[in-house]
């Protein structure tokens, strides 16, 4: 076994629930040399996780320093409370995507308020299950940590250390603020995507046939796991309803403006314009390549010739130029890839890559 790095969290760490997030946490801890114990009610999940090198099966007499509960929100409170009883000295935390209901539920069920510190690593994938787990899933991601006023300082410190040991960046947040945040940026968008996709049921084939990339992007998450999302939305019902209040008000105002325009009334197109303008302003707030931090990368756009193998030639050229790609975007037109590939690189590397590609006769634009 690897020697634990000096700044790694002390083990052993027990991970309960060998799904995507649980197994990824276990793999990340193992990578850091921390001893990991695993438990899952599903023997097959457990077997896959152990075989992937995530840790060993929990045995009687094991005394974990931290217990990480990585189970669905519906049962998380009960599992947290049970873990608190079974391991009376351990720090108890979770990775559930809703915090207030789960954590207060665990307290109600008898979890120790001093040792309980909620958490939510902001990492997910479109696949689920331990087979999709990766040791680097949390690398560089935010890990929201939600201490209670009753949480002991050493327990909070341990959960923060757990996050950094897994490669994540911990952020402390109150339970309610966490839930309001994920309602805004994740749970309400899920509802909108589902409701929009539901409009396609019963519509003419002819209509759906002309769907473009915009609809595809907006309904992608509508194909998510129904049982998991029913759980999440039910557990965060109030904050999600609050976001929907605002969405419905704005949609209703837009609909009224459109009805006014359709019937030739006085309703000005300015109301419609205002909604679109607000959308541009709101969208620009999103951090990352689509928002504020976009300027941190240089974008090199390449129009590929319509010949087989051009993508291979392009990426080989990038490799030869020894430029590290921060992101790649292949433009899709009506759901099919087009010849336009955007490469995102550090500003320093931009000119070098651009010149290298032009020297190889690539059609570099912008």
How far is 359 from 365, CA to CA, in rounded Å?
14
Shortest spacing between CB 100 and its own copies, in angstroms? 11
Candidates 4-12, 54-62, 80-88, 177-185 — which segment interacts with its own copies by CB under 8 A? 177-185
Does 186 sit near its own copies (CB under 8 A)? Answer: yes
Does 75 sit near its own copies (CB under 8 A)? Answer: no
Candidates 2-10, 80-88, 102-110, 320-328 — which segment interacts with its own copies by CB under 8 A? 320-328
Shortest spacing between CB 322 and its own copies, in angstroms? 7
Tokens of 251: 């949609």
Residue number, 152 or 260, with CB nearest to its own copies = 260
Residue number, 56 or 220, with CB nearest to its own copies = 220
Shortest spacing between CB 59 and its own copies, in angstroms? 31
Does 244 sit near its own copies (CB under 8 A)? Answer: yes
Shortest spacing between CB 231 and its own copies, in angstroms? 8
**Three-state SS sequence of the chain:** CCCCCCCCCCCCEEEECCCHHHHHHHHHHHHCCCCEEEECCCHHHHHHHHHCCCCEECCCCCCCCEEEECCCHHHHHHHHHHHHHHCCCCEEEECCCCCHHHHHHHHHCCCCCCCECEEEECCCCCCCCHHHCCCCCCCCCEEEEECCCCCCHHHHHHHHHHHHHCCCEEEECCHHHHHHHHHHHHHHHHHHHHHHHHCCCCCCHHHHHCCCHHHHHHHHHHHCCHHHHHHHHHHCHHHHHHHHHHHHHHHHHHHHHHHHHHCCCCCCHHHHHHHHHHHHHHHCCCCCCCCHHHHHCEEEEEECCCCCCHHHHHHHHHHHCCCCCCEEEEEEECCEEEEEEEEEECHHHHHHHHHHHHHCCCEEEC
Nearest to 155 by CA among 89, 60, 254, 108: 89
How many amino acids of this chain bind its own copies (CB under 8 A)? 132
Q: Which of 157, 237, 360, 364 binds its own copies (CB under 8 A)?
A: 237
Residues 330-349 that bind its own copies (CB under 8 A): 330-340
Candidates 28-36, 43-51, 111-119, 216-224 — which segment interacts with its own copies by CB under 8 A? 216-224
How far is 345 from 318, CA to CA, in rounded Å?
10
Does 226 sit near its own copies (CB under 8 A)? Answer: yes
Does 124 sit near its own copies (CB under 8 A)? Answer: yes
Residue number, 150 or 230, with CB nearest to its own copies = 230
Shortest spacing between CB 166 and its own copies, in angstroms? 14
Q: Going residue by residue from 246 to 275, which x/- string records binding to its own copies, judged by CB under 8 A?
A: xxx-xxx-xx--xx-xx------x--xx-x
Residue number, 114 or 250, with CB nearest to its own copies = 250
Residues 132-161 that bind its own copies (CB under 8 A): 134, 136-137, 140-142, 144
Q: Going residue by residue from 32 to 71, which x/- string records binding to its own copies, judged by CB under 8 A?
A: ----------------------------------------
Candidates 35-43, 80-88, 310-318, 354-362 — which segment interacts with its own copies by CB under 8 A? 310-318
Does 211 sit near its own copies (CB under 8 A)? Answer: yes
Residue number, 85 or 255, with CB nearest to its own copies = 255
Bridge-based pairing of strands 169-172 and 118-121 is: unpaired
């Amino acid at each position: 076994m690897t020697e634990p790095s000096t700044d790694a969290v002390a083990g052993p760490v027990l991970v309960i629930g060998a799904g995507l997030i649980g197994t990824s946490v276990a793999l990340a801890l193992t990578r850091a040399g921390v001893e990991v114990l695993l438990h899952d009610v599903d023997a097959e999940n457990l077997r896959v996780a152990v075989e992937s090198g995530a840790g060993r099966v929990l045995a009687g007499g094991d005394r974990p320093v931290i217990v990480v509960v990585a189970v669905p929100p519906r049962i998380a409170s009960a599992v947290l409370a049970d873990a608190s009883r079974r391991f009376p000295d351990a720090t108890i935390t979770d990775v559930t995507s809703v915090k207030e209901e789960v954590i207060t539920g665990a307290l109600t069920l008898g979890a120790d308020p001093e040792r309980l510190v909620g958490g939510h690593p902001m990492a997910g994938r479109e696949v689920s299950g331990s087979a999709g787990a990766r040791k680097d899933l949390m690398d560089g991601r935010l890990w929201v940590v939600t201490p209670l006023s009753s949480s002991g300082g050493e327990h909070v410190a341990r959960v923060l250390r757990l996050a950094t040991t897994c490669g994540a960046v911990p952020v402390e947040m109150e339970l309610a603020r966490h839930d309001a945040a994920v309602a805004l940026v994740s749970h309400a968008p899920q509802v909108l995507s589902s409701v929009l996709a539901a409009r396609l049921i019963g519509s003419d084939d002819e209509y759906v046939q002309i769907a473009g990339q915009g609809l595809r992007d907006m309904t992608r998450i509508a194909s998510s796991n129904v049982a998991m999302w029913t759980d999440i939305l039910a557990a965060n019902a109030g904050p999600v309803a609050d976001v929907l209040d605002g969405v419905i008000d704005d949609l209703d105002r837009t609909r009224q403006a459109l009805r006014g325009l359709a019937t030739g009334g006085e309703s000005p197109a300015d109301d419609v314009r205002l909604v679109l303008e607000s959308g541009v302003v709101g969208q620009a707030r999103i951090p990352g390549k689509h928002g504020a931090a976009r300027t941190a990368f240089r974008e090199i756009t390449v129009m590929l010739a319509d010949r087989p193998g051009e993508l291979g030639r392009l990426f080989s050229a990038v490799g030869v130029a020894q430029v590290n790609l921060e992101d790649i975007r292949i433009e899709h037109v009506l759901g099919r890839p087009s010849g336009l590939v955007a490469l995102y690189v550090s500003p320093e590397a931009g000119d070098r890559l651009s010149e290298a590609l032009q020297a190889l006769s690539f059609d570099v634009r912008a």
